Structure 1
Amino acid sequence: MISTSAGVRRTYYVLELGNTLAASLIWGINTIFLLDAGLSNLEAFAANAFFTAGMVLFEVPTGVVADMWGRRASFLLGTVTLAVTTALYVLLWQIEAPFWQWAVVSLLLGLGFTFFSGAVEAWLVDALTATGYQGQLEAVFARGQAISGAGMLVGSVAGGYIAQLINLGAPFVLRAAILALMFVAASLLMRDLGFTPRRDLRPLAEIREIVASSVEYGWRVPAVKYLMLAAPFTGGVGVYVFYALQPHLLDLYGNPEAYGVAGLAAALVAGAQIVGGLVTPRIRRLFRRRTSALLAIEGASVVVILLLGLLTSFWAALVLVAVWGLLFAAAMPIRQAYLNGLIPSQQRATILSFDSLMGSSGGIVTQPLLGRAADVWGYPASFLFSSAVQVLALPFVARSRAQRAPADSDVAATPTP
């Protein structure tokens, strides 16, 4: 059993690396995979929207699993669910299934990811507290993000070229196999520390308590509420842009079957994630308050997405993708540290899951609408619409900043993670 903060961090890094490697194998070719199965842009992004809807629907019930059975149990259930639904995706692709079947499996795929959201982050923070960690959370989140970026870089590049050498279904098969290995790794390494599962509660009573806690410690805390209200705009646009970049880059490149090139979008985001994770502590020191950093970064992201819609050069698009990924990677650890500083330990998994739910909810609406815009006017126009949607997040971050919460200006020394 891990009993030191160093052991907790190492386990967290292993879980982040393995999960991201598995997930990212299909990130570079997912949209192309769906289009190859006979779906239109509207249907492909509607399938993604059903995935997002699954995350929204199951966030609270899987939060119950994390609270009643433990964060480790939630992680294990997530690996199993994702492995099975990933295999079903391959089956649907082979038989060119109708859209409704893609919708159902995508919904269940969202269920798999909700077992991870909130639970893993809450496990880390509580376990670090239980083992006496005295450092700054940004450092751990940033290192984890850099490691995840390495996994994403390898996975996205490998997935693109595996698809090009074998077929579009091969990366999905490999993903399911790696998830099975992660089940074994988590069984051996992950233990709940600093948190005792509450198995005495009934599920429905626990759901009511979670909803009440989300309102009490999240929605009724202005700094938390406004940060969460910004999430649907940034989350919905972020997932659309990431997946729309795959066919858009192929259009700019001029070869619709160069799947390795499509994987470059995910690879560039992964490389930017590594760099962003490493430079986040430095970026944080440029701003006295965390929300000031978030406003600057998210404002710059709006401009980058706008330029993606305006410029038609393949190489310029690659540069913009790298910058966009760097901005996203720099913002996430700062936002995570800010949010965790605003919420109490006992409700941490609950509020983090609710925050994830808010971010996912934006994708339910934006993905099919922006996908339809791509069908009618093309991908560049859909990026212009995306920038207009994301700019709506900025006033909410500014309102969170106006609350002057202590967590906004925490300047604890950055340790060696």
Structure 2
Amino acid sequence: MTAAQARRRYLVLLALRWFPVGLSVPLTVLLPLDRGLTLAEVGLAASLQGLVVLVLELPTGGLSDSWGRRPVLIAASAVAVVAMAAQVVADSFWMFAVVYALQGIYRALDSGPLDSWYVDATLAADPGARLEKGLSEGATVVGVAIAAGALATGGVVAWVEVPGVPTLVVPIALALVVQLAGLVAVALLVSDPPHPDGRRTLRASLRQVPAVIVSGVRLVRRSRVLPALLAVELSWGFGMITFEALLPVRLAEQVGDREAAAAITGPAGAAAWLASAVGAALVPLVTSRFGVARTAISLRLLQGLSVVGMGLLAGPAGAIAGYLATYVVHGAANPAHMTLLHREVDSGQRSTILSMNSMLAQPAGSLGLVVLTAIAGGWSVSGAMVVGAVVLALAAPLYLPALRAESTQDGVPRGGSRST
């Protein structure tokens, strides 16, 4: 497989992975409410997803490194299909709790193996490949797919009627069909290299998971760069609450009406994902001129400034302008960060390190939700956004070890471990 073939397959699989998310996200709360759940029950059921992800994140990352990317991706896609099918028929708190638990299993299995497969396949074909190019194209596809899915849901709910099927269920059924297509695509497009120990079995791979996790932890401990990169995720997870959770509250404060704020937030969310795609598409142009680490540092500072704009610019238009600017930077920051992360690991620990990176965002996001909502309620929403912006910007110095590594070892092929 050539690097170009790997990139094309990667982008197709990402589109099939994230378009159903765009279809279902606008209905995450509305569908269970329509089925008779209270808002508190929805929140309690949804909390199971984060708990399951937190518990399974590292073991599933280790499983991807020991068993292979393809079987884990197939398992993840199969669980996603079951979760979506359950969501179509769920009509009680306990059924929705099962849906969210299954989604947690899916997210844990899905966290890392596709990116790991793409990076491994690319480096096998071209050890000197610019990883940020493919990763930025992937982030662009993710943004477009989510935005397209969200817009499609709005159109389906407004204009499509299927006899015997409730209106809010139609987009979920469409998402189920796309996820089935994604399962087939994974089986056809993803292939793993031969395992050095011969045919890989699930039982043998499960026995190897603890050793793989321990190996990943040791790699982090020996590295000068990886601990700082993983710490960035703590800042990022905390600060993302400003634009993921507080924007509707800020808009409601400005327009004086929650329903009007909700009406603005929907289209703004779709536009934000398109803005994210634009930011991701610009990454290769910027990194080719300034380098990946310098770009990452600048983006952390710019994201802090854009969140300040969300909190301080006057009127709904100012808040939305800051919101879109935030997502442009957010879309660009992810491929830059992931490129630096991939440079520090090899195939044997790649998914494990990605799972560590993802896992750290969970408690950081929970802490951010508690702290920033408390500040918003006790002081002001703008004040909470400024605090979150400062935390986001404080991550910039954490890229300095990666900058030193990039400056002193610029001739080393990307993707090789630099942990010494």
Common fold: TM-score over 0.5: yes
CA contact (8 A) 2:59 2:213 kept: no
Q: Which residue identity is paired with 1:188?
A: L
The letter for the 1-side match of 2:360 is M
The one of 128, 149, 152 equivalent to 1:158 is 152
Tell me which amino acid in the other structure corresponds to 2:226: V
SS of equivalent residue, structure 1 residue 135: coil
Identify the match of residue 116 of structure 1 among 110, 118, 122: 110
Q: Residues 236-385 of structure 1: matches in 2 within 5 Å?
A: 236-238=238-240, 241-245=243-247, 249=251, 254=257, 256=259, 261-288=264-291, 290-311=292-313, 313-370=315-372, 380=382, 382-385=384-387
385-394 or 271-280, which moves further after superposition?
A: 385-394
* Distance of aligned partners of 1:231 and 1:358 in 2 relative to their CA distance in 1, 3 Å threshold: same
> Which residue of 100, 108, 116 corresponds with 1:106?
100
**Paired residues for 1:171-190 under 5 Å:** 171-190=171-190
* Contact 2:63–2:206 (CA under 8 A) maintained in structure 1: no
**Aligned mates of 1:180, 1:362 — CA distance in 2:** 33
Aligned pairs for 1:65-76 within 5 A:
65-76=63-74
Quote the offset at 1:397 in angstroms. 3.3
Contact kept? 2:67, 2:201, Cα under 8 Å:
yes
**Which deviates the most, 119-128 or 62-71?**
62-71
Question: Which residue is equivalent to 1:59?
Answer: 57
1:222 alignment partner, SS class: coil
Q: Aligned-residue CA RMSD in angstroms?
A: 3.5
Change (3 A) 1:257 1:314: closer
SS at match of 2:367: helix
Q: Which of 1 and 2 has higher RCO (CA within 8 Å, sep 6+)?
A: 1
- In structure 1, what is the equivalent of residue 132 of structure 2? 138
2:24 alignment partner, SS class = coil
Paired with 2:250 and 2:31, the residues of 1 have a C-alpha distance of 14
The CA deviation string for residues 152-202 of structure 1, in whole angstroms up to 9 with x for no partner, is 221122224434557555433332221111111111222114766754874
Kindly state the Cα deviation for residue 48 of structure 1 after the two structures are TM-superposed: 5.4
Question: Secondary structure at the residue paired with 2:192?
Answer: coil
Kindly, what percent of the aligned residue pairs are identical? 24
CA offset at residue 409 of structure 1? Answer: 6.6
Amino acid at match of 2:69: R
What corresponds to 1:218 in structure 2?
220
Contact 2:241 2:372 in 1 (8 A): no
2: CA distance, partners of 1:409 / 1:236 = 32
Tell me if the contact between 1:83 and 1:180 (Cα under 8 Å) persists in the aligned partners: yes
Q: Distance in 2 between matches of 1:126 and 1:213?
A: 18
Query: Bigger radius of gyration, 1 or 2?
Result: 2
Give distance in 2, aligned partners of 1:411 and 1:156. Answer: 43
Structure 1 residue 221, shift from structure 2 partner:
1.0
> What TM-score, normalized by structure 1, do the two folds share?
0.82
CA contact (8 A) 1:59 1:354 kept: yes
In 2, Cα distance between equivalents of 1:317 and 1:275: 19
Unaligned runs of 5+ in 1: none
Report the equivalent of 2:10: 12
Residues 62-101 of structure 1: pairs in structure 2 closer than 5 A: 62-89=60-87, 91=89, 94-95=91-92, 97=93
In the superposition, the TM-score normalised over structure 2's length comes to: 0.82
Give 1:207 deviation, angstroms.
2.7
Unmatched segments (≥5 aa) in structure 2: 161-166, 415-420
Count of aligned residue pairs for this structure pair: 403
Cα offset, 1:148, TM superposition: 2.2
Query: For 1:31 and 1:372, how far apart are their aligned partners in 2?
Result: 22
Give the letter aligned to residue 59 of structure 1.
Answer: E
Deviation of 1:243 (Å): 4.7
* Post-superposition offset of 1:368: 4.8
Distance 2:43 2:394 in 1: 21
For 1:88 and 1:258, locate their aligned partners in 2 and report how far apart those are by CA, in whole Å: 31
